[in-house]
Amino acid sequence: MQSQVAQMRGFPPIEARGLIKDVSLRKDETIRILHGVDFQADWGRMTGIVGPSGSGKSTLLYSLAGLESISGGQVTVLGERIDRMGRAKMARFRRAHLGFVFQSYNLVPTLNVEENIALPFLLRGRRAPKGEIAAMLERFGMADRRRSDIGSLSGGEQQRVALARVLVSKPDVVFADEPTGALDQATGRVVIDELHRVAADPARAVVVVTHSEEVASSCDRVVTLVDGRITGGAR
């Protein structure tokens, strides 16, 4: 396992140095969203990224996950410089090692709940772990929805299906952007508990962007981003 190899070598799961992200608004107008951010996640821990709206939290998360190109600095994930990776290698690396829980659920509307969760396995020609999928749906309070069409689910239910799909694949690193945003408090707690189960594994790591005080206070460490700069953290 790449994560175990990286851990043995003493690499953190994620490390960003001097991360800069610029975006072009018009022809000759560029704005800087991330101003040389240094960030590190740790093995077996859940790291929170908090800060005001528009401070660059999602941009940082996407950059750490290799979903956004960066304008300067470096990002190392599981010991690999992802900012230097070509597109195809990055896509393979993501599929093999990284999981994303984002607001856009990316569920397939023509498949039911169970089929959506099984899809990543089927795409890799592997058998889906039916027992694990059933157990996770049970914990998420969705056992009775397993054959439901995606379109018949509420936003919060779809979010749980998307999370279940990520978690059953057991990625080494899980990135979550507002994972409780569409959920009531009780369901949000279940989701956060699941992310903590991932982070409890010393060979895995979780990074979560959140506006929720409750989620932030449950993290092992929290960094604060203001205007594209880390202003606090190291808890």
In the complex, which residues of this chain contact ligand ATP (CB under 6 A)? 23, 25, 33, 51, 53-59
Number of other CB atoms surrounding residue 19 within 10 Å: 25
Least distance in angstroms from the C-beta of 155 to ligand ATP: 16
Residue 91 CB coordination number (10 Å): 12
- Please answer whether residues 28 and 190 qualify as being in contact, where contact means their C-beta atoms are separated by less than 8 angstroms: no
CB nearer to ligand ATP: pick between 18 and 52: 52
Q: At closest approach, how far in Å is the CB of 109 from ligand ATP?
A: 25
We find the least distance from the C-beta atom of residue 147 to ligand ATP, in angstroms, to be 34
Residue nearer to ligand ATP on the CB measure, 64 or 153: 64
Helices (H), the chain: 2-8, 57-64, 87-97, 113-123, 130-139, 155-168, 185-199, 213-218
Q: 92: which 2 tokens? A: 């393979």
Q: What is the DSSP letter of 71?
A: S
Nearer to ligand ATP, 58 or 76 (CB): 58
In the bound state with ligand ATP, the residue whose beta carbon lies nearer, of 8 and 25, is 25
Handedness of CA 54, 56, 61, 66 (dihedral sign): positive
In the complex, least distance from residue 149 CB atom to ligand ATP, rounded to whole angstroms: 29
